Structure 1
C-alpha cells in the first residue's frame, strides 16, 4: 500500500528541478515547430510547486519588448502558468489553431513534470508517462479535465500498462492532492485482509484517494464489502461497521472487461455503477511507438549501472519497432536486463539478439509487413491504414498519396505535415524503415507497372514522365531495382501475354 506520507527525499536544487522540464519542453517544441519558426520562440513557464520560472530561448534576441511579440498563454485547469512568445517579423504569420494546440500540450508537459516531483517526493514512485504521441497527449488532456472532480474513475488498460501513473496524476491534479494516496492490490489480498485494509483507511482518513488495482480479482465477498462502504452515508464513533468511503476518491483499474463480468454475473452490477462514473482507456504501447524512445531514455537513466551505459542507434530503433505485448512493464524489464547483463557500455543489436532474440525476429517481420501494407494503402488511397502512425507521418503520407506524380521534396512534405524535415525523416525511418524517397520511388514504380498493365503499348519515355521521373536513365534504374527487369522487358512480357491470350 502506497501512502502519501512517505519520508521526503533529499531536497533538489532549482537547477535539478528545472533541468528535466527544460529538456522536455525543448524536445517537444523541436518536434512540433519548423526551424524558421522555432528561432522566433521564447518560452516562459512556472511550475505549480515552485514560484521560480523557467525561461527557454530559441533565438538570440532575448531583450525584445512585449510590443514586439505575439503572446499565447499557457493554461492548465483554467490557471495561467506561462506563455509562448513569438517574435514579430514581417514573415511571421502565426497559425493560431496550431499554436493553441501547442500551448495546450505545453501546459500538460509542465504539469507532468510537477506531478513527477510530487509523486517521487511523497510516494517514492517515479511516474513513467512519457512522450508526445497523440494518444498519450489526449490521455493527459482527459486527466486534466476529470481530475478536478472528486468522482470515481475507472481505468481500463492492458497488462503492464501505466495504471498507477494515471492514478497518481488524477490524485495530484485533484482537490485532495494534499491528502493521502493509497494503492491496494486486489489480487494479493484475501477477503479478511481486504475488508480490514479498507476499514483502516476509512476510519483513519476522511479525505484522500484509494486506488484499487486489479479490480477484476475482487471476490463476491470483497465486492459486497466495497459496495457497502461506498453506499453508507453515516458513521458513528466507535462503531466500525458503519465506517464509509464516500468522502474518499476512488480510482480503480482492470486489465479485463468488468462489463463482461457484470453480464456473466461475476461482478456486482450495483458496485460497477458506483465506481464507473468516469472511464479512461489507457492506450497500449503498440499504438504509441513515438513514446517508446523517451521511455527507453527514462528507464536507462533509472537503471544504468554507470554513467557511460547507453543504447546504440540501431538498438534504440529495434526497441522502438517492437510491439511490446506487455507494454511499459515489459519494456522496463527488458531495458533493465540489457543494462545489467551486457558487459560493454554501448548496447547494440547483437546484445539484444543474444539476450532478447524475440525482439529481433519480430521487429524484422513487422517492418517488412508494415512497409508492404503502406505502399498498397497508398496505391488504393486507403488513408485509414495509417491511423496509428504519428499524426505528422499521416499527413505526409496523405500528401504523397495525392501528389505522387509531382516534384516532391522532404521540405514540401514537412511544411504540409507541420513538422521539421529532420523529424519527418526520422518518422519515416523509424516507422517504415524506409526514407521518404524510397517510399515515393517504390510507389511510382508500382503505379508504372499498373499503367503498363492497362496499356502495354505505352511508350517508356511517356511512362517515365507520367509517374514523376524527370530522367529516363534514373527511371530505368529504379524500375529494375524493384522489378528485377527493365521497363522495356516488363512491357515486352505484357505484350507477349496479350498475344497469347487474345
Structure 2
C-alpha cells in the first residue's frame, strides 16, 4: 500500500477515534479524504463524512460515499495559526438527527484533529530531513498544551526556551516549532552545548549562526555553558529579537534561536536565564502524562512489529503506567525495544514482562501517591476519579469549580441512573453547553466518558467483591440495560471481558 493511502487511513482512524473519545452522539459511516498532502505547509484539505446516530442501528451498510446523498449537510473549518487549512464536510444520513448537536460534536474535535495533522506533518519533515523517527503522541491535556504552544510560538520569530527533563521531547518540540514556522524551508541547525570546550564556545556559536541563516538554530543544553560566557551568548540571543515587529512578522530576523534547558539544573540558576525568557515552555514529564503511556506503548510495539510481534495484557499496561519513568519518553521506548527483542512469547502477562524488565517491579502493588488538592486538577485522570468514586473515596478534591464539583458529586450518587447532560446541568445550576466546556477544560473529558469510567470501575469492584453474582446483574446494577453493550464497553475500557477479569482476580 502506498504511503499516501496509509496517511489517509491514519487520518480517517483519528477522526473516528476522536469522536468516540469525545462521547459524541454520532459516529462515522463513510469517509473520503481529498487534497491531503503532508508536504504542504498550508493544506487545502477536505474530509467528507457521512455520519449516523451512534444510538441507532443501521439497516443497510453504506459501502461507497454518495455525494448526492439526501439529508442535511454542514461544514466545520479546520484552522491553524488563525488560517484555514481545510474543512470537514458532514452529511447527516438519518432523519431526525440534531444538526446543532452534530455540528457541535465535530467542532469540539476540530482543534485536536488539526493538531493531529500538524503532528503528522512535523513527523514526516523530521524523518525526511534528519532521518529521525520522532513524533508527538498522546491525547492528555498536557500533550495538547504542548501542541498549543507549538502553534502559537511557530507563528512568530521570538526566541524560545524549552525547559524539560531528560527524554521529555525538547528536540522534538524545537523541530516542530521550526516545521510550522515561516522558516520551514530553511535549515534547522543543532548545537550540543554540553560537548563544547570553553575556548571554542563563541567560535562554535558563530559557525552555527552562519549555517542557520534563514532558518532555526537550536542550542541544546544551553545551561551547561559556563556563566562566564553568558554575556556573549546573550548578545546572539538578543540579536534575533532586536525588533518586536520583525519577530512577529517573521522578517528581518536572520536566525530564529531556540534553546533547551534541563529542568533540574535550571532551578539553581533560573535568575541567570530569566532575561532570555521571551517565550518558554516546561515540557511535562511522562509521570505527568500517565494516560498517554498506553498509546505510546502500542505505537512502539507497532513500530517494531517487523522484528517481533508482541502484545501486552491490560495488567502489563497498568505496570507501565504505574512506573516512574526517570528518563521519560526515551526510557519507555528503550524498554519496549528490549521487550520486543527479548520476548519469546507473542503475548505477555506481568510475570513475563517482569522477567525481561525486572525494574518495573519497583512500583508493583504500590498505589501512586495523589498530589495535594490544589494540584489534582492537573494530575488526576478520569479513570482515577472513577476509581475513587467506585470505592467511595472521592472527597471532591478534583476541581475548585463549584458547578463541576456539583456535577461530579451527583454522578457519584446517581451513576446507575439514566443520566443526560442537560439533566446533570440542571443539578449543577449551569447550562448544558457550559457544563460540557467545564468537563473538557478541567478534566479533558466529556460527561459521557466519565460516566462510563465510573460504571466500569464500579463493575470491576463488584466482580471482585461478589464472585457468585451473575455478570448480568452486575451490568444492571451499574447502569447498563443491555448485557452485550456492557461486555463490549467493559472490554474496550479494561482490555478483557468481564468474565476473564473475574477469573484473573480469584
Q: Confirm or deny that 1:353 pairs with 2:375.
A: no
Match of 2:230 in 1: 223
Contact between 1:69 and 1:86, CA under 8 Å: does it hold in 2? yes
Match of 1:37 in 2: 26
Q: Confirm or deny that 1:108 pairs with 2:112.
A: no
Structure 2 gaps of 5+ residues are 52-61, 241-251, 371-383, 425-438, 465-476, 480-506
Contact between 1:71 and 1:86, CA under 8 Å: does it hold in 2? yes
Tell me how far apart the structure 1 counterparts of residues 124 and 347 of structure 2 sit (CA, whole Å): 30
Residues 1:374 and 1:57: Cα distance change in structure 2 (over 3 Å): same
Match of 1:478 in 2: none
Match of 1:164 in 2: 171
Q: CA deviation at 1:165?
A: 1.1
Given the alignment, which residue of 58, 71, 84 partners 1:80? 84
TM-score for both structures, normalised by structure 2 = 0.68
Match of 1:68 in 2: 72
Tell me how far apart the structure 1 counterparts of residues 385 and 98 of structure 2 sit (CA, whole Å): 38
Q: CA deviation at 1:12?
A: 6.3
Contact between 2:222 and 2:259, CA under 8 Å: does it hold in 1? yes
Residues 1:427 and 1:295: Cα distance change in structure 2 (over 3 Å): farther
Task: Name which structure has the greater RCO, CA cutoff 8 Å, separation 6+.
Answer: 1
Tell me how far apart the structure 1 counterparts of residues 459 and 446 of structure 2 sit (CA, whole Å): 16
Q: Deviations over 1:239-258 (max 9, x none)?
A: xxxxxx96211111222367
RMSD over aligned Cα, in angstroms?
Answer: 4.2
Tell me how far apart the structure 2 counterparts of residues 229 and 280 of structure 1 sit (CA, whole Å): 21
- 1:184-263 equivalences in 2 (<5 Å): 184-231=191-238, 247-256=254-263, 260-262=267-269
TM-score for both structures, normalised by structure 1 = 0.68
> Between Structure 1 and Structure 2, whose CA radius of gyration is higher?
1
Tell me how far apart the structure 1 counterparts of residues 412 and 8 of structure 2 sit (CA, whole Å): 45
Tell me how far apart the structure 1 counterparts of residues 447 and 386 of structure 2 sit (CA, whole Å): 24
Match of 2:190 in 1: 183
Partner-residue secondary structure (3-state), 1:182: strand
Given the alignment, which residue of 110, 126, 129 partners 1:119? 126
Given the alignment, which residue of 125, 131, 135 partners 1:128? 135
Q: Deviations over 1:70-112 (max 9, x none)?
A: 2111111223222233434423153465543311111111111
Partner-residue secondary structure (3-state), 1:167: helix
Given the alignment, which residue of 93, 96, 106 partners 1:90? 96
Match of 1:459 in 2: none
Partner-residue secondary structure (3-state), 1:112: helix
Contact between 1:180 and 1:207, CA under 8 Å: does it hold in 2? yes
Structure 1 gaps of 5+ residues are 1-10, 234-244, 388-393, 443-467, 471-502
Match of 1:295 in 2: 296
Q: CA deviation at 1:324?
A: 2.3
Per mean C-alpha deviation after superposition, the further-off stretch among 25-34 and 330-339 is: 25-34
Match of 2:15 in 1: 25
Q: Confirm or deny that 1:374 pairs with 2:374.
A: no
Contact between 1:414 and 1:420, CA under 8 Å: does it hold in 2? no
Contact between 2:386 and 2:454, CA under 8 Å: does it hold in 1? no
Q: Confirm or deny that 1:145 pairs with 2:152.
A: yes
